[in-house]
Structure formats: C-alpha cells, structure tokens
A and B are shown apart, each in its own frame.
Chain A
Amino acid sequence: MDVVVCVKQVPDTEQPIRVRPDGSGIDDQGLNWILNYYDEHAVEEALRVREKHGGTVTVVCVGPPRAAEAVRTALAMGADEAVHVADPALEGADHLAVARVLARVIGQLRYDLVLCGRLATDDNASVVGAALAEYLGLPQATAISKLQIGDSLATVEREVEGGVELVKVPLPALFTVERTINEPRYPTLPGIMKAKRKEIRTLGLADLGLEPGEVGAQASRVRYTRFEPPPRRQAGQVVTPDSPEEAARVIVRFLQETAKVL
C-alpha cells in the first residue's frame, strides 16, 4: 500500500497571531512555523497503514523554502520519501491552484491512497483535499475519523450532522482526516537524525511542466484583499440576582430571547 500524504507548514496558532497594522497580512515576526496539526494526523495514519500493509509513505508539500522543515518533521515521524514544490510564482495561488500543482506531482508517483489533513489551521479552508481528488479523478471521503483498508476497498467513518457514516470507497482514493482519527507520534530524536539523512526532492514549476499562468496568482479565482483582527466582543451585562431562582430565570430568558436556543 503506497500512501501519499499532503502536508502544509503553518504558523503555530497556539501562539498569538496578529494582523499587521495595514491589514496586508499577519505579522510574521516571532511566528513559530510548524507542520499543520491535521497533517500530523494524516502522516500518522499513513505510517499506520504502512505498518499494517507494507508499502511506502511519500510526503508532498507545496510551499515556500521554509516549509521544508515541515516536510522534514514528517520524515522524522517516519515517512520514507518527500517532494517539496517551492516556486516564487506560487505566491498568491489559491487553493485550487495548489491542488493542481499537487495533482501534477502525485500524478507522477505510484500510490494506492492519498491522505490530507481535513484543514490547515492557518487559512482554515478545507478545499485542497477534495479539489485534489477531483484533479486526480479519485473517489474521496472528507473528514474521516476512522480508516480501514481492505482488498481494493477502504471503509471509513465520517462524522456528519447528528451521526457517523460508514462509507466504502474503492481504492485508489483520497481521504482527508479529522484529528480524532489517531494520536500522532512525536518525531523521536533518532527519527530526527534519520530524517536529516533523507533526501527531499525539491521541484519548481518548470520541473513539473507547469506555467505560472496556470497555477500562480493570475490563475487564481479568489484573492485576499485584507485581514482584520476578530471583532471585539461587546461586553454584555453582569447581574447579581437576589436568589438562585432569579438567576435561573434571567439565564433562561437570555437563552430563549437573545440566543434563541430554547
């Protein structure tokens, strides 16, 4: 079972993220760049598939040169090979364009399964995975919380509103994974040393036979115009009711009339 995992490097959102005063982007000073959490789970799942069924795990990443560190993290977790597409012409590419680049890379690899994180914590889009499946012509299931590989067929679980769906998908297929799917391993120190010796194949658009006009900002159908800090929450009222009964009534009235959840 050869598995391809798509990964992205993102700023650690457990640290403060601030918008630049002119709204042109986020302030990248002091940002800690990490492998997207959801992608960690995708790598973990790929490694588990390999442990059970044999085969290889190849990591594919589209991103600037610094993203190589996220790729290296995936290698340190245990992935076998890596391809990193870095090209200045990809600045401003939208998610569909990124998916087209990934499709071009993955189209040249041997695979039975493609895994992606359900979303990247930076732009929070959940677009690349399913779009990539489309470009590769693969069946898909998104946001899966369980994966079982059978003979030419995978059985997955995905949470839907109010329930869990069990879906059978023929392989090869693409899945995007939820964080509930597994507990990712930490890259061990020996793993980090081994990863240091593995080669990351770095490609530009030209190596893939792609033109900036096909996948760069010019080809993008959406564009970020500015960024804003989240709206400041208006402080509401603070009350000191005379009795617990009164307190309960105040809250219930709020739930009914303002929040409308009752």
Chain B
Amino acid sequence: MEFGLSEEHRMVQRTAREFAAREILPVASQLDAEHRFPTEIVRGLGELGLMGVMVPEAYGGAGMDNVAYALAMEEVARACASTAAIMSVNNSLVCDPILRYGTEDQRRRYLPVLASGREVGCYCLTEPSAGSDAASLQTTARLDGDRWVLNGTKAFVTNAREAWVFVVYARTEEEPGARGISAFLVERDHPGISVGKVERKMGLLASSTCEVLLEDCRVPRDNLLGRRGEGFKVALSTLDGGRIGIAAQAVGIARAALEESVGYAKQRRQFGRPIAEFQAIQWKIADMATRIDAARLLTLRAAWLRDQGKRCTLEASMAKLFASETAMWAAHQGVQIFGGYGYIKDYPVERYFRDAKITEIYEGTSEIQRMVIARNLLS
C-alpha cells in the first residue's frame, strides 16, 4: 500500500499549482465577473501539456496518466472552476474519445492542436429533451454521397462558443435507443453548424455553455468517429474519465472554500478574538478538511485504477458523487464562515458556492451516480 505520489506526479502538481497561483488565481474573480473566456490561460495550459494530459507525446500531448490529470484538475479548479471545466471537456470528452476511437488521420489532425491549447473542443451529447436519458437523443445524421448530413439541436454544450471541433452524437439508424447512435467530428467551419443561445448560468461564468444548432450540417464522410452505430460506446467510454475529472474539479473547489475559510477565520475578529478560536468554526473547518481528504482519496483511487487498465466505473461514480457533494457542502460552509462577507462578491466563497453546484449535475447527476453505484451492488 502506497499513498505517496510519485516524483513526476508531485512535479505535475507543482507545475499546475504554481501556474494556477500566478496566472489564474489573480484574474479568476474578474473572469467570473466579466463572463470572459480565459483564452490566454487556456493557451498557457496547453503549453504546459495540461490541455492534453493523456494524449501521447507523438500527438503533441504530455503522455501522462489519469492521476496526473486529476492532480492538475484539482489545482486549476482551486483557482478557477470555469477554467477547470474548459480543461476537463477538452481532455476527457474530446481528446480522450479521439484517441480511443479516432483513425490515425483524425488523431493527427485534431490531437496536436487540441493538446496545444490553441483551439478547444466541445462535446455535444445532451439535447433539450435528452439529458440523463442520453440514448433518447433525436439529432439525426444521414449519408448523402460523401457527406453526412446532421440535423438537430444540442443543449448545454460547454466551450461551444470557442470550440473548433465538436464531438456530436446523432442517430444514424432507424433503431431507437443506444444502438442507433453514431459519433461525429464536426468542425466550426463545416456548413450548417452554428452556436445558438449562450446560456445565462448560475456559475462557471468564465466558460460558455451554449445551444448548438445543426441545420443540414454537412460533414465529410471520414469524420465519423468510431464505427457507425457504435456512438453510444464512444460516449460510454468517456464516462469514467470524465467523472474522475469532475471529481477532481470538485475537490479543487472544496479546497478553495476550505483554504479561504481558514485564512479568514484566523483573521476575522469577533468578541475580541479571531473567530478561529470558536468551536463552531473549528468544527466546520475540521469537517471540511476531512471530507475533502476523503473525496481526494476516492478520486485518486479511481484515477489510479483507470491507469492500471482496470474497471473503475463504480469507483469513478463514487468519487464523482462524493466529491461533488463535498464541494457544494464545503462552499456552503465557507459562505457561512464568512457570514455577510460570504454573500458578497468581494470574497471568493460566493463564487465557489455558485460554481460548486454544477458538479452535482453535469457528467451524470448525483442521482445517476447513485443509480450506477446501486446497480453495481444489486445486480
């Protein structure tokens, strides 16, 4: 049994931590306030290898593993959850399926650019009436000569406004449910794809979440990702890695809430002494730290299992469920510790509170995670 990180994992952690502290943290609240996509930061993350952590060096990536990815995600999310979301989509939902299911040509075309941070990708699965029940999606794709023609509307697409490549799931067969679905790589310049409404969200304000419209969108035949009719397999393959990423993001948000709370509790004086001397605050801090550590351990275990090539669906779900609920809870405690100051935007816990909530929703809601966990135990 070994709980320590390896030398290179510590180095990745340090690189991500330093970059986050110097380049992201100082502007995080501003990005949030201005709803601004952090173009420069994303490029910086790319230069460090953080936009394609698991992409092999041959395709311009870092060639590292899930543990490295989780550690880096936590550090980035500690500074800015929006940036972490952008990074997570690019790594887990775009690079990962292209690497697993892409042809050699597709890998060469997309991975080096995506891993460099010069462009980002996005992931179009959810539809206005197909959320948790993704297999009920209605977007269609039909072959017309050497082109696929896609029609439909995708919802809640992170990074869509900035994305160069869209991983789009559409129904290619008459069959209902999972079996009729195929995955496509659609580029922003392909005719017929457009970004619709940009959602006005509660949190993650520095990342865009949009509607994506496909209106007779014509895509080269070779842009099918994976085999025809096996799109749902592609989608499922991203789940474990995606959940590990979001779990790590949640740990980062929770840690931000804890660290800010500790700093504030030592500094804020009431009744003639720092509030850190009151047991009510101490217990909150202790509980936050304990839950965060548990969440991190669950996350790293899932990442480690995935690196070993072992099945980790149960563990990834547990990590994602526990970490996201910890983030929400810790942010809630953070706001409470800050009192009135926690409710205003001068202090960052207000942002953590807004950012934390989404981690309980995207990449499978807490309810879905519980279903997955229960199914593993009961079936």
A and B touch in the complex (CB under 8 A): yes
Residue of chain A at shortest CB distance from B14? A34
Among B14, B19, B62, max chain A CB count under 10 A is at B14
Q: What separation, in Å, do the CA atoms of A186 and B45 have in the docked complex?
A: 11
Q: Please judge, given known A-B contacts A69-B10, A196-B8, whether A190 and B62 are in contact too, CB under 8 Å.
A: yes
B14 contacts A189, C-beta separation under 8 Å = no
Please state if B18 and A189 are interface contacts (CB–CB under 8 Å): no
**Given A69-B7, A73-B11, A76-B11, A189–B53 Cβ distance below 8 Å?**
yes
Given A193-B62, A193-B63, A193-B64, also A187-B11 (CB < 8 A):
yes
* A186→B11 CA distance, assembly (Å): 10
Interface size on B, residues (CB 8 A): 21
Q: Bound complex: CA of A68 vs CA of B11, how far in Å?
A: 12
Q: How far is it, in angstroms, between the C-alpha of A69 and the C-alpha of B48 when the chains are bound?
A: 19
How far apart are the CA atoms of A244 and B18 in the complex, in Å? 43
Cβ of A189 and Cβ of B12 under 8 Å apart? yes
Q: Which residues 26-68 of A sit at the B interface, judged by CB distance below 8 A?
A: 34, 68
By a CB distance below 8 angstroms, the chain A residues around B68 are 189
CB distance from B118 to the nearest CB of A (A): 15
- State the CA gap A73–B64 with chains docked (Å): 16
- Is A19 located at the chain interface by the 8 A CB criterion? no
Chain A residue with the shortest CB-CB distance to B72: A189
Q: A192-B11, A193-B57 are in contact. Are A186 and B19 (CB under 8 A)?
A: yes
Q: Chain A: interface secondary structure?
A: helix
Verify if B15 is at the interface (C-beta below 8 Å from A).
yes
Complex: A68 Cα to B7 Cα, angstroms: 9
A188 vs B19: C-alpha distance when bound (angstroms): 10
How many residues of A are in contact with the other chain, CB < 8 A?
16
Min Cβ gap B133→A in Å is: 37
Contact A187 B15 (CB under 8 A): yes
Query: B307 CB to closest chain A CB, in angstroms?
Result: 14
B57 contact set on A, CB distance < 8 A: 190, 193
Contacts of A189 in B (CB 8 A): 12, 15, 48-50, 53, 62-64, 68, 72
Interface string of A179-200 (1 = CB under 8 A from B): 0000000111111110110000
- Footprint of A on B, CB under 8 Å? 7-8, 10-12, 14-15, 18-19, 47-50, 53, 57, 61-64, 68, 72
